[in-house]
């Protein structure tokens, strides 16, 4: 009798499920998971404990996270699918900053520029099975010195499994996986010989030791005039290079950043702060030739001078680059220099001479 009742009950459940599926369809629901401050703080403290004894580099570094703001994981059941959304980029940014500044100084102050650690998410997979969560993270890391030269590339892959409650909080395995990936990166950076050599070259102590004045007219091996100190208090912000229509010519601006850093006449304004200022004031297109707007950008970027560069195309693969230095305090154009190309390629030597012309005006 009991066996018969059980069969009837089972058939009834299946029948009700089929009716539900036929009338409503397979259910897909969405849940926005929240960051747990207590879980985040636990990981921060763990990072502090494990990295507390390492020797700190005397050089600044910034973090750039390349990831969608929102990622999702799925949990399947007979009644449907639940899609869990989690704010991956915010967690990466928080925990990587916690780890990196055990090894590096924070950007700001009298620095030529900062190193950059670029953390790009290749894969982030969150799966559920019952009350368990499985998380797989695959990152591509680039370590760049000032001037954007890549010193180290590294791939980090981590996977962890753990319990997942029915709450609306991000599973703890995500925090733990990101924490372990950040600590792995620190271990790699502090032991890599190329990284150590580059950091030594740009460290605060090295800049102080090499801040020596030379005789007027003497040039170093790069062709720069040896008349300046590497620890100058004058801060210059180098704006993106534009053509006559206001379009970006990225390679020239990048090269100017490197050349002005190597010439040791100015301190280069931190690039992210400059970008934030450009975005805030909404400088676009031909606004780059409007001195009043450029001065506002300089004020927000904390610069003493703004370097504006624009390209003139003379046809037949011939063009020139004009450099203008504007004083932020007065809004006055202090000097102009020009670099020329004769074969369709901007000659590095010509750019160095233009940089020298600007440097020697002070």
Split the chain (362 residues) into runs of 10 and give each run's mean pLDDT: 62 57 59 87 92 87 87 72 87 92 73 77 88 91 84 93 82 94 94 88 56 38 42 75 66 74 73 81 66 85 85 68 85 78 56 69 56
Q: Is residue 104 packed enough to be buried (19+ CB in 10 Å), middle (13-18) or exposed (0-12)?
A: buried
For residue 21, give every residue at least 6 positions away whose Cβ sits within 8 Å of its Cβ, in sequence order, or none: none
Q: Tell me, which fold does domain 214-360 have in CATH?
A: Rossmann fold (3.40.50)
Helices (H), 52-131: 88-100
pLDDT at 309: 82
pLDDT at 350: 66
Domain with CATH 3.40.50.10070 in the chain: 214-360
Distance from C-alpha of 257 to C-alpha of 300, rounded to nearest angstrom: 19
* Residue with token string 């950091």: 199
| Global confidence as pTM | 0.54
pLDDT at 17: 54
pLDDT at 100: 92
pLDDT at 24: 45
Domain with CATH 3.40.50.10610 in the chain: 26-202
Geometric angle at alpha carbon 224, from 306 and 207, rounded to 5°? 75
Q: Which CATH number fits domain 26-202: 3.40.50.10610, 2.40.30.60, 3.50.50.60, 1.20.1260.10?
A: 3.40.50.10610
Distance from C-alpha of 133 to C-alpha of 255, rounded to nearest angstrom: 47
Distance from C-alpha of 90 to C-alpha of 65, rounded to nearest angstrom: 9
**CB of 349 closer than 8 Å to CB of 223:** yes
Locate 280 and state its tokens: 């805030």
**CB of 11 closer than 8 Å to CB of 66:** no
pLDDT at 65: 92
pLDDT at 120: 94
* Residue with token string 């890391």: 141
pLDDT at 30: 81
Q: Which of 70, 254, 252 is nearest to 170 (CA)?
A: 70
């Amino acid at each position: 009798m009991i066996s018969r009742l059980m069969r009837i009950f089972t058939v009834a459940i299946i029948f009700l499920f089929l009716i539900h599926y036929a009338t409503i369809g397979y259910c897909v629901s969405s849940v926005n998971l929240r960051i747990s401050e207590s879980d985040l703080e636990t990981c921060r403290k763990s990072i502090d404990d494990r990295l507390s004894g390492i020797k700190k580099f005397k050089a600044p570094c910034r973090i750039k996270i390349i990831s969608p703001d929102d990622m999702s994981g799925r949990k399947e059941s007979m009644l449907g699918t639940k899609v869990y959304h989690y704010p991956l980029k915010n967690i990466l940014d928080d925990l990587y900053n916690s780890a990196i500044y055990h090894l590096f100084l924070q950007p700001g102050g009298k620095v030529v520029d900062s190193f950059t650690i670029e953390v790009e998410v290749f894969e982030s997979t969150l799966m559920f099975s019952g009350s368990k969560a499985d998380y797989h993270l695959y990152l591509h890391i680039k370590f760049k010195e000032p001037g954007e030269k890549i010193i180290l590339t590294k791939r980090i892959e981590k996977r962890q499994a753990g319990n997942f409650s029915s709450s609306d909080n991000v599973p703890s395995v995500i925090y733990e996986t990101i924490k372990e990936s950040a600590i792995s990166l620190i271990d790699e950076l502090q032991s890599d010989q190329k990284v150590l050599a580059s950091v030594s070259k740009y460290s605060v102590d090295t800049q102080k030791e090499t801040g020596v004045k030379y005789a007027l007219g003497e040039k170093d091996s790069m062709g720069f005039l040896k008349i300046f100190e590497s620890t100058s208090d004058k801060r210059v912000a180098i704006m993106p290079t534009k053509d006559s229509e206001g379009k970006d010519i990225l390679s020239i601006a990048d090269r100017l950043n490197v050349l002005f850093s190597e010439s040791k006449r100015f301190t280069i304004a931190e690039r992210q702060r400059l970008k934030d200022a450009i975005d805030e004031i909404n400088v676009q297109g031909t606004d780059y030739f409007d001195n009043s707007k450029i001065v506002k950008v300089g004020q927000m970027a904390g610069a003493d001078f703004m370097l504006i560069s624009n390209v003139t195309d003379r046809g037949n693969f011939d063009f020139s680059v004009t450099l203008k230095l504007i004083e932020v305090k007065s809004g006055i154009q202090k000097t102009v220099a020009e670099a020329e190309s004769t074969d369709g390629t901007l000659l590095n030597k010509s750019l160095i001479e233009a940089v020298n012309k600007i440097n020697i005006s002070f």
